Homo-oligomer: A and B are copies of this chain.
Amino acid sequence: VVQQVGEDQPVSARRTHTRDRLMAAALQVFAERGVLGASVEVICEAAGFTRGAFYSNFADKDALVLALLQASTTAQFAAAERSLDELQAASGEQPFEDLVSRAMDRLGSGDQPNRQAVLVQQELMLHAARVPALWAPYTAFLGTRTRQLSEQIERCLVGAGLEFVLPFDQAIEVLSGAHSIAQSRILFGAAMNTTPLRSLILAITRPRSPMAGGPEPSRFTDRRLDPC
């Protein structure tokens, strides 16, 4: 490789533009054919370049995947910012579960959950799982997302005067699970069904207790009794 990109060397705008187009095309092709099924040629074709341009910008296919992973972290920060703005605008006007559900959508796929975003997200996850060198970057990426999501949900909770009936981190994990199951329906041609997520939100929240940070309720004092 003659002109590989160094550490923090200044990069021309032209170069950045090429890189960005290649990466955007890669997202599309990865979604359609999978990371392993996507050839460098098809990616370049989709971006309107030749393969030489690819190898002038990335050491190899793995480097592209890593760059995409890093880029999605950045994109996520942007999405989180936008989501926060929305939240502040809509707070108080919309029911709590709408706010939470929306925030999760935004953080999951940058905008509204769509087939391509969900596919590529799953694809990157699985690829990261297969390549041990990607475990650390990927879990860092996940950690960032969880942190941002927690922050936003905490804000919603406070705004609505609610708290979770189970430890906060566990609530977040459980909500993420419900969200990702709902999202995965999109992969098979069905619409996303947020009803279970909304029901869950209702079921695991309660009005905030006046004294801050009381002890965790125990197994049975925590149970509601028969409603009649």
Question: Which residue on B lies nearest to A222, using beta carbons?
Answer: B202
- Would you list which residues of chain A between 1 and 43 have a CB under 8 Å from chain B? 32-37
Whether A33 pairs with B207 at a CB distance below 8 angstroms is no
A173 at interface (Cβ–Cβ under 8 A)? Answer: yes
- Would you list which residues of chain A between 161 and 218 have a CB under 8 Å from chain B? 165-167, 169-171, 173-174, 176-182, 184, 187-189, 195-197, 199-200, 202-207, 209-211, 214, 217
Given contacts A129-B187, A195-B170, A196-B173, contact A219 B202 (CB under 8 A): yes
Which of A70-78, A80-88, A119-127, A147-155 is found at the contact surface with chain B? A119-127
Chain B residues with CB under 8 Å of A228's CB are: 209, 211, 214
The complex places the Cα of A204 from the Cα of B178 at a distance, in Å, of 13
Chain B residues with CB under 8 Å of A132's CB are: 189
The complex places the Cα of A210 from the Cα of B188 at a distance, in Å, of 40
Chain B residues with CB under 8 Å of A217's CB are: 227
Whether A225 pairs with B206 at a CB distance below 8 angstroms is yes
Whether B196 pairs with A223 at a CB distance below 8 angstroms is no
State the A residues within 8 Å of B (CB): 32-37, 119, 122-123, 125-130, 132, 135, 138-139, 165-167, 169-171, 173-174, 176-182, 184, 187-189, 195-197, 199-200, 202-207, 209-211, 214, 217, 219, 221-228
The complex places the Cα of A219 from the Cα of B199 at a distance, in Å, of 9
Whether A165 pairs with B200 at a CB distance below 8 angstroms is no
A198 to chain B, nearest CB (A): 9
Whether A199 pairs with B166 at a CB distance below 8 angstroms is yes
